[in-house]
Amino acid sequence: MIELVWPYLLLLLPLPLAVRYLVPARAQSEAALHVPCFDAMSEAADANRRSTESPLISTLRWLVWILLIMAVVRPQWTGEPVALPTTGRDLMLAVDISGSMGTDDMLLGGERVDRLTVVKSVVNDFIARRKGDRIGLILFGSNAYLQSPLTFDRETVNQLLREAPVGIAGGKTAIGDAIGLGTKRLRTRPESMRVLILLTDGKNNIGELEPVKAAELASIEAIRIYTIGVGADEMVMPGIFGSSIGAQRVNPSADLDEQSLVAIANYTGGEYFRARNTKELEGIYRQLDELEPIEQDPETYRPIRGLFHWPLGLALLASFALGLTVARPKLATRSETLVEAEAT
């Protein structure tokens, strides 16, 4: 339906009539000197102007005024109520982008790629499925940074993750600081909605907070932490000049501190997951999709679209028409005068 934001401004519609009939009378009553012949001439001129003013000009003037008032009262179209999602969580994603995440020990689409590339692919799909959830993003290496606060704008969060290069936050791993930053951002949210998903491929080797101590603080704030350890268990290192001669099998995830990640999850009522390849990582995020939804108070909103530009545009067109209508007789008179002058 159509509504008016300021309907009381419709009282301005008869203003031109009030100005027309009240201002001349006031001006006459305040005059200090009256000249009879001048008054008679003025009245004759006013009568002549009123008699020569065409109904079209008068109609256009009123039309312009009415349209301007209709624009001023701010008409707007209000749509039917739209229900907002009544389930959802506040999910803070903490993603390790330290130097070790550049290890190319995983496969994606049949090609060997680094760990962060796989994480970006899987987490992007996970974020896209979280309709109705607020998503936040923390990137950490030697330092932890809030890349995005909690927001419904999933596409922006995805873009920020896609653009994050390996090592931009430093080469080491500050797991405790990442948990502390996530706790700070989540503790103001309703208790039953606070979830932190932390993904790393290493162990805490820098930072002000120990991971387990940070988990204890998160537990006090009723924040559930799900931890994910990513990285292959085995990787073949090529031998001399890239050949198979002298090739060795190594464990690229030897530095992964699974014990601490398990303790963090247990302290906060979460769970620890191990992702050795892309398929396992995808399965983990599908499991995280099955977290119990949290009921929120139902909310609705009405889409609103402003309509003031329509009467404003029509008023502009009517003004042009009025100007042409008023100017046409004057132009015709001037052209006749010039013709007569040339003839003489």
Q: For residue 5, what are the contacts with CB-CB under 8 A and spacing of at least 6?
A: 73, 74, 75, 76
pLDDT score at 257? 87
Give me the residue label for tokens 């229900």.
Answer: 83
* CA distance readout (Å), 335 to 186, 329, 341, 343: 79, 10, 10, 12
Q: Which CATH architecture fits 87-295?
A: 3-Layer(aba) Sandwich (3.40)
Using CA atoms, how far apart are residues 252 and 151, in angstroms rounded to an integer? 35
What count of other Cβ atoms lies within 10 Å of the Cβ of residue 307?
16
User: Residue 135's closest CA among 115, 161, 109, 112?
Assistant: 161
Using CA atoms, how far apart are residues 59 and 133, in angstroms rounded to an integer? 56
Residue 52 has pLDDT above 80, yes or no: no
Q: How confident is the model at residue 223 (pLDDT cuts 50, 70, 90)?
A: very high
User: Residue 101's closest CA among 73, 123, 71?
Assistant: 123
Residue 50 has pLDDT above 90, yes or no: no
Mean pLDDT of the chain: 81
Burial (CB count within 10 angstroms: exposed 0-12, middle 13-18, buried 19+), residue 210: middle
Helices vs strands, H then E, count in the chain = 10, 17
Mean pLDDT of the 159-174 span:
90
Using CA atoms, how far apart are residues 71 and 275, in angstroms rounded to an integer? 61
* CA distance readout (Å), 126 to 231, 283, 296: 19, 11, 22
* Rounded-to-10 torsion of CA 271, 275, 280, 285: 50
Q: What is the pLDDT of residues 81-134, one digit of tens each?
A: 776 655 567 889 999 999 889 888 888 888 888 889 999 999 999 998 888 788
Using CA atoms, how far apart are residues 227 and 198, in angstroms rounded to an integer? 5
User: Residue 179's closest CA among 147, 144, 151, 203?
Assistant: 144
Bridge partner list, 90: 134, 194
Helix, strand, coil percent content, the chain, rounded in steps of 5: 50, 20, 30
pLDDT score at 38? 46
Using CA atoms, how far apart are residues 252 and 192, in angstroms rounded to an integer? 37
What count of other Cβ atoms lies within 10 Å of the Cβ of residue 25?
9
Q: How confident is the model at residue 143 (pLDDT cuts 50, 70, 90)?
A: very high
Domain ranges of the chain: 2-79+304-334, 87-295
Q: How confident is the model at residue 22 (pLDDT cuts 50, 70, 90)?
A: confident
By mean pLDDT, which of 3-7, 228-232, 293-297, 309-313 is the weakest? Answer: 293-297
pTM (global) more than 0.75 = no
Give residue 14's identity as a one-letter amino acid code: P
**3-class DSSP state of 225:** strand
Whether residue 238 contacts residue 247, with contact meaning beta carbons closer than 8 Å, is answered with yes
What count of other Cβ atoms lies within 10 Å of the Cβ of residue 165?
10
Q: What is the pLDDT of residues 286-344, one digit of tens each?
A: 888 876 554 555 567 677 888 888 988 998 998 888 888 877 766 666 666 665 656 66
**3-class DSSP state of 95:** strand
Position with higher pLDDT, 79 vs 284 = 284
What count of other Cβ atoms lies within 10 Å of the Cβ of residue 150?
19
